[in-house]
Structure 1
C-alpha cells in the first residue's frame, strides 16, 4: 500500500523574483546597456516633469521628498495665481505692486532654481553615466543640461525680473502723498513733461496736462493746458494767498507770468520750502505743488497727484517699447530752431519728419513732440497728446513683459511721481480698463474756443465739467 507522502509529488522550492525585475529604477541590471539607457531617460524625464520623483524612486528619498514638496508647492502657487488673475485681480495687483511681496516671490524663485540644480546633478549621479554607451552618455548629459538651463535658468531669470520690478517700484513710487478718495468720481493727475537738467532749478514744463480717470469705468479725459496761458488762478493755498487775482501783477517775478513759469517763480525766485513745507515729505517739491494748485484752480477740480516725465530721457522709454506708431500730417523739422527771425527751416533743420504713418524711434518721437517753429504751440500740444495716446497703446502686457528690463530701467530714469505705493494696485487695475476705452481730449487753445492770452476761466471750467459729467440724455417722449 502506497502512503500519501510516498505518492505526493515533491514541491519545488519557492524563488522570489529578482529585485532587479521588481524595482528596475532603484536596482537596475547594470550589466545591460539597453536597460541602463532606458532607465537613464526615465530618470531625466521624471526630474523634468515632477522634480524629486527620480530621487524618491531611485535614490535619496529625503532629497526626493524635499523636491516633491517644493514642486507641489510651486504648482499650487501657480494654480492659485492663475485663478486669482481670473477671479481676484485685485489680489494679483496687490502682490505685483508691493515691494515686500515681490521680495518674497524673488526669494522663492531663487530657492527653487537652486533646488532644481541640485536635483538635476543628483539625477545624473543616479543615472550612472559610466554604465551607458558613449553615445547615450553624451545624449543623456546634454539633454539633462539643456533642460536644466531652460527650467532652472528660467526661474533664475524670473527672479531677476521680479527684482527689477521691485527696484523700479521703490525708485519711482516712494512714500508718496496720502491715499485719497476720488473727487466727484474722478482721480485727477497732473502730467508734466519737462527738460529737467541737473538740479532742475530753472525747469519750465514743456508740456502741461491733466489726466482725469473715472474711478469706476476707467474712462480717461486729458486736458491740455497751454504753457503760455497767463493770469491763471490758484486753488486754495499759499499761491492763492500771494496771487488772489491770478498769476500776474506786481507780485509776479517772472518775465511773462505764464503757466510754465510758475515752477521757476516758486523754486528759484521765492522760498519754495516756506510756501510748501510738506512737499518733500510726500515725494514732491514746491514748484510742482504750485503748478498743481494752478492747474486745479484753472480747471476747477481737485488734483491730488502728479507725474513728471523727463523729456531728456523720453527717447529711452520709446526705444524700450520698440518704437511708437504715429501718423504724421505735415512735414516737420528736427532741430533747435532758427538763429534769427525768418531764417528758413532748411538752413537750421538737422533732419525732417516726413508725412505718413511710421513707427518712430525715441529720438524722432521726441522731435515730433517738440517741433513748433514751422507750426504753432497749439499744433504741438495736439501732437503731444497723440504721442501720449500712442504710448498708452504700446503698453500692452505682452510688449512690457518681453521688454521688461529696458522699460523698467527707462522708467526709473525719467519718471517722478507722488502717487502712493498703497494705491498702485487700484491704479494698475484701473489702467487695464482705461486701455480698452477711447480717450477724450480737451485742448485749451483758440481752436477749442480758449484764448491763452485772455482766457475765460468760467468757460474753461464749464468745458471740463461737461466732459467729465456730460448731461444725461432725456428719453424722447
Structure 2
C-alpha cells in the first residue's frame, strides 16, 4: 500500500518514522524504559523506569546525607563489600541500558526507513550504546581500582584509640621496594593529628641520632635498658636492620624493623605511636606525576645528582611546578647541603601535597593515583579507619601545619637532651599553654634568631640551613 502512495506522501511518512525512531532513542537516553511504554511494551518499560527512579532517589538521598554527614559518604565508598556490589550494579546497568537502546532501535522499525535513514539510525544507536554503556563500565573499573587499592594498601587489624585526643603516625621514607621494606629509612617523621580538628604537627627526627632511650617496657628497652648507646653505628635509622637480624625477639610482630623504630620514637618523643606508613621515595615520583606535578618555592639552586655521582643538572630557584623527577631530587638532594636541610625540603613537599591535592584532582585522576599509591606506601592503618583519616586530611588542608625538627643547634644529635625534646613536643602540640606559661618571651619574632631553638618561630630564610622549615608555626609560610 505504501508504494501506491504519492511520492510526496511516502517521503513525508518516511520523515515521520525517522523522527519517531530518533525520538525513541533520545527517550531511552533521558528516561530509560519510556520508549517501551510508548510502544506498548509496558512490563519492560515499567521495570526499567522503576529501576531508574530508584537509582535517582538513592543518589539524591546519598547526596543529601553527604551534605549533612561527610563521614557517611566516605565510609560508604570505602566499604569493600559495598564497592563490590556497586561494581556489579554498574555492570548490570550498562548491559540493561544497552539492551534498552537496541530494543528502542527495533521498535523504531528500521527496515521501514530509507537506506540513509537506516544508516543514520545505526550510527545514532551505536554512539549512544557505546557512550552510555562505556561510561558505566569505566565507572565500574574505577570502583574496582578503588576496591583493589583499599585491599592492597590497608590492613585488617584493630583500630586504635586516640591518646590525649590525637593520632600519632610514624612516617618512614627510603628507597624501598616490594621486598625491601626492611632497609634503613632516609627520613623519620611523626605526624601528630588532632582527632577533632585535623590540625597537624610534624616532628622530624634525624636519622643519625645516637644515644636515645626506648619506650619503657618495650622489646628494645629490655635489650638496651640504658638506651641505644652501642657506638657510632647505633644510629636511629639502623634499628630496622638490627631488628631484622634479631627477629626471634619480635615474636608475633609482622615488621620488626618498624616496631623497633616505633619503640625508639616513643622513647625519644614521649608520644604513643598508633600507626605507621612506610613511604617509598622512588614511588613518590610516580605519585607526583599522577597528580600532574606539585608547585614548590625553590629557595636555593638544588643539584640533581651528586654525592657519589656526577651532578647532571639543577632545579633553579623560584616558584616552580615540578614533575615527579624534579620533586624527588628537591626532597632528596644532599649535594652542597646536609641531612637537616634535606629534612626541611621533605617537609615542604609533604605540606605542598597536603594542600594542593584537591578532592577534584583525586576523582579525575583516581586510577593513576591509586596505582602510584600501591607502589608508594605500605601502612598498618586498618580499612575501618580510612574514613576517619580521609576526613582528618580534608580538615587539615585548610589549616597551617606546625613543624619541629630535633636537629642542631636545638639538639645535639650525638647526645640528645631527651627531656628537652619531650618538652618541645608538648609545647608544639599545646602552643597556647606554652605561650601562656612563657609570657612575652615565649616565641621568637619572624626574621630574628630564635632563642629557644626548635619549638616555634624562626626566620624564614634559606633552606640550605634547613632552619625555617624545620622549626615553624606555619610550614606553608616557611616553605
SS at match of 1:210: strand
Whether the aligned pair in 2 keeps the contact of 1:109 and 1:159 (CA below 8 Å) is yes
Q: Which residue of 1 aligns with 2:457?
A: none
The answer on 1:324 being equivalent to 2:305 is: no
**Offset at residue 247 of structure 1 (A):** 1.0
Change (3 A) 1:428 1:55: same
Q: Which residue of 2 aligns with 1:166?
A: 147
What is the aligned counterpart of 2:360 among 394, 398, 404?
398
**Offset at residue 458 of structure 1 (A):** 0.6
What is the aligned counterpart of 1:444 among 406, 414, 427?
406
> Tell me, which stretches of 5 or more residues in structure 1 are unaligned?
1-28, 340-347
Query: Any idea what the Cα deviations from partners look like across 1:313-342, whole Å, max 9, x if unmatched?
Result: 121111111111111111121114146xxx
Change (3 A) 1:45 1:147: same
**Offset at residue 74 of structure 1 (A):** 1.4
Which of 1 and 2 has greater Rg? 1
**Offset at residue 149 of structure 1 (A):** 2.6
1:149-228 aligned within 5 A: 149-176=130-157, 178-197=158-177, 199-200=179-180, 203-228=183-208
Whether the aligned pair in 2 keeps the contact of 1:30 and 1:36 (CA below 8 Å) is no
Of residues 123-132 and 165-174 in structure 1, the stretch that sits farther from structure 2 once superposed is 123-132
1:14-413 aligned within 5 A: 32-176=13-157, 178-197=158-177, 199-200=179-180, 203-236=183-216, 237-249=218-230, 256-268=233-245, 270=246, 272=247, 274-280=248-254, 285-338=255-308, 348-413=310-375
Query: Any idea what the Cα deviations from partners look like across 1:407-436, whole Å, max 9, x if unmatched?
Result: 101111121000011111111112111111
Change (3 A) 1:353 1:212: same
SS at match of 1:228: coil
Query: Any idea what the Cα deviations from partners look like across 1:112-166, whole Å, max 9, x if unmatched?
Result: 0110110000010011122233444344433333233332211111110000000
**Within 2, Cα distance between the matches of 1:307 and 1:328?**
27
Query: Any idea what the Cα deviations from partners look like across 1:161-185, whole Å, max 9, x if unmatched?
Result: 0000000000011213x21221011
Q: Which residue of 2 aligns with 1:22?
A: none
Structure 1 runs (4+) deviating above 6 angstroms are 473-476
Q: Which residue of 2 aligns with 1:21?
A: none
Whether the aligned pair in 2 keeps the contact of 1:324 and 1:390 (CA below 8 Å) is yes
SS at match of 1:306: strand
Whether the aligned pair in 2 keeps the contact of 1:201 and 1:267 (CA below 8 Å) is no
**Within 2, Cα distance between the matches of 1:423 and 1:202?**
25
Whether the aligned pair in 1 keeps the contact of 2:214 and 2:266 (CA below 8 Å) is yes
Whether the aligned pair in 1 keeps the contact of 2:306 and 2:335 (CA below 8 Å) is no
1:448-463 aligned within 5 A: 449-463=410-424
Query: Any idea what the Cα deviations from partners look like across 1:427-477, whole Å, max 9, x if unmatched?
Result: 111211111111111111125x1221221111111111011122347799x
Q: Which residue of 1 aligns with 2:429?
A: 468
Whether the aligned pair in 1 keeps the contact of 2:354 and 2:393 (CA below 8 Å) is no
Q: Which residue of 1 aligns with 2:465?
A: none
Change (3 A) 1:436 1:421: same
**Within 1, Cα distance between the matches of 2:173 and 2:238?**
14
**Offset at residue 31 of structure 1 (A):** 8.2
**Within 1, Cα distance between the matches of 2:382 and 2:31?**
42
**Within 1, Cα distance between the matches of 2:16 and 2:178?**
70
Query: Any idea what the Cα deviations from partners look like across 1:47-80, whole Å, max 9, x if unmatched?
Result: 0111011111114322222211221121122112
**Within 2, Cα distance between the matches of 1:110 and 1:127?**
26
**Within 2, Cα distance between the matches of 1:445 and 1:139?**
73
**Within 1, Cα distance between the matches of 2:67 and 2:333?**
44
SS at match of 1:33: helix
SS at match of 2:319: strand
Report how many aligned residue pairs link the two structures.
427
Whether the aligned pair in 1 keeps the contact of 2:172 and 2:185 (CA below 8 Å) is yes
**Within 1, Cα distance between the matches of 2:178 and 2:392?**
34
**Within 2, Cα distance between the matches of 1:112 and 1:131?**
30
Whether the aligned pair in 2 keeps the contact of 1:211 and 1:220 (CA below 8 Å) is yes
SS at match of 2:202: strand
SS at match of 1:208: strand
**Within 1, Cα distance between the matches of 2:38 and 2:181?**
69
The answer on 1:425 being equivalent to 2:382 is: no
**Offset at residue 397 of structure 1 (A):** 1.1
> Tell me, which stretches of 5 or more residues in structure 2 are unaligned?
1-9, 440-479
**Within 2, Cα distance between the matches of 1:134 and 1:338?**
73
**Within 1, Cα distance between the matches of 2:383 and 2:347?**
27
How does the TM-score come out when normalised to structure 2?
A: 0.85
